[in-house]
Amino acid sequence: MTETRLEITELGHRGDGIAITDTGPVYVAGGLPGETLEAKVQNGRAQNPAYLTQSPDRIEPVCRHYAACGGCSVQHLAEGPYLSWKRSLVEKALKTQGIDADVTQTIAATKGGRRRAVFTATRAGRAVLLGYHEKASHKLVDVSECPVLDPTITSALKGLKSLAADLVPKKGELRITVLSTTSGLDVAFEKADKAYDRKIPALSQKTVELDLARLSVNGEVLLEVRPPLLDMGGTGLVPPPGGFTQATHAAEEALSELVAAGVGKAKTVADLFSGVGTFALRLARSGNVHAVEGDSAAIAALDRSLRKPQGLKKVTFEKRDLFRRPLVPEELEPFAAVVFDPPRAGAQAQAEMLAKSKVKTIVAISCNPATLARDLRILIDGGYALHSVTPVDQFHFSPHIEAVAVLKRE
């Protein structure tokens, strides 16, 4: 296999540099636009690259685990070009659907670090490893630091490994979801050894010693020292164990401000794929909101938060699988605005119903530019005008990007 000279011309959607050759694109892990290198090419990927020139945008990674860990892909790119690349991911996805939109500058929403992290733990002989998988591998990187995390999570890594040692199965992997809340860490273990119940006293003692707010194992709350509270725009909420929340508090605030601005003065709003009510509880400060969500635990958490007087307008909620049973035009008629924030798969069925509705304003939030673009195409074809698209970066150093789009029926 001979060496090939490559010139990287762009950064791909997964964070790899891309060099165009006569035989097609070659992907260079860790490569940046403007760099030249020599490498052997195998299956379209550069092997053991030797750099001849380097980009002025290249910087030193901030984490000692970066070379192996699969959690981050672009720590080596300077902040300005990095945010521009994130913006380009949204622009390119829209163009694939024939949407020529003026995408605004990316909002950097990573301040304070990620408050929600998902770790993996496994056995390695007598030792227990806790961390993230290596790049393109099932091997686990045993992390001692993680610069993208909230410092309260990083400082708890040693204690979390101690808990994991009591729960990791003899074979397979243990999943740990950690959420930093206003009252402490909320820790949920999944796929734990089934014999964990005989260790409950020891696990409870460790929970107290580590000053965790709550410990859950395989869906069972073992000990709640304090309710793990989140502040949803002035409304307190206790999320379900291991449940979905926005990754950073800064991003939650940025997204909420964009959603509120998009909804404007609408007095009746439907919040679809509402989760625990991240947007619904904030929007209810100024209008009536109907929240629709398919996850029972998320709806139950929203219900509990509404049982205390919060100074909100009327909030109603409904458990419903919007993939199978989207709200139809007749059900959408009472609402002046609709907000939807689906999982990565997007909201195609619901977008098709919205395209047939008379709703004046739609605000779409997505963590997947490809499915967002598809859903926007449906709405535009249904007569909506795309007013704005704003990328929000809460997944620092990763190829993931959030975006908020506002549409109006003219």
The mean per-residue pLDDT over the stretch 52-65 comes to 95
The per-residue pLDDT for 350 is 98
Give the separation between CA 138 and CA 253, rounded to whole angstroms.
35
What is the structure's pLDDT at 305?
95
Confidence check: pLDDT of 310 > 90: no
pLDDT at 129 over 70: yes
CA-wise closest residue to 390 among 109, 100, 95, 102:
102
In tens, the pLDDT along 335-357 reads 999 999 999 999 999 999 999 99
Residue 1 clears pLDDT 80, i.e. is over it: no
Residue 186 pLDDT exceeds 90: yes
Residue 258 CA, chain-centre distance (Å), reads 17
In percent, the amount of the chain with pLDDT more than 90 equals 92
Contacts of 307 (CB under 8 A, 6+ apart): none
What lies within 8 Å, CB to CB, of 408 at 6+ separation is 360, 361, 362, 384, 385, 387
Q: Which of 69, 72, 146, 367 is catalytic?
A: 367
pLDDT of residue 335: 98
The two structure tokens encoding residue 125: 């002989």
Q: Which of residues 308 and 42 earns the better pLDDT score?
A: 42
Which pLDDT does position 122 carry in this prediction? 96
Kindly give, in sequence order, each residue whose CB lies less than 8 Å from that of residue 330, ignoring residues fewer than 6 positions away: none
Q: Residue 136: pLDDT band by 50, 70, 90 thresholds?
A: confident
Q: Is residue 111 scored above 90 in pLDDT?
A: no
| Under 8 Å between Cβ of 122 and 90 | no
Mean pLDDT across the chain: 95
Give the integer Cα–Cα distance in Å for 51 and 39.
9
Contacts of 122 (CB under 8 A, 6+ apart): 128, 129, 140, 168, 172, 173, 174
399 in Cβ contact with 380 (< 8 Å):
no
* Section 185-193 average pLDDT: 96
Predicted local distance difference test score (pLDDT) of residue 309:
75
Please tell me whether residue 364 adopts helix, strand or coil conformation. Answer: strand
Q: Which of 1-10, 37-46, 184-193, 334-343 has the lowest mean pLDDT?
A: 1-10
Contact 301, 240 (CB under 8 A): yes
Q: Which of 138-142, 258-262, 341-345, 370-374 has the lowest mean pLDDT?
A: 138-142
Q: What percent of the chain has pLDDT over 70?
A: 100
What's phi and psi for 407, nearest 5 deg?
Answer: -125, 150
- State the pLDDT at residue 230: 97
Region 87-96 average pLDDT: 98
- Active-site annotation holds for 63: no
Q: Where are the alpha helices (DSSP H) in 157-248?
A: 157-165, 200-209
pLDDT at 176: 98
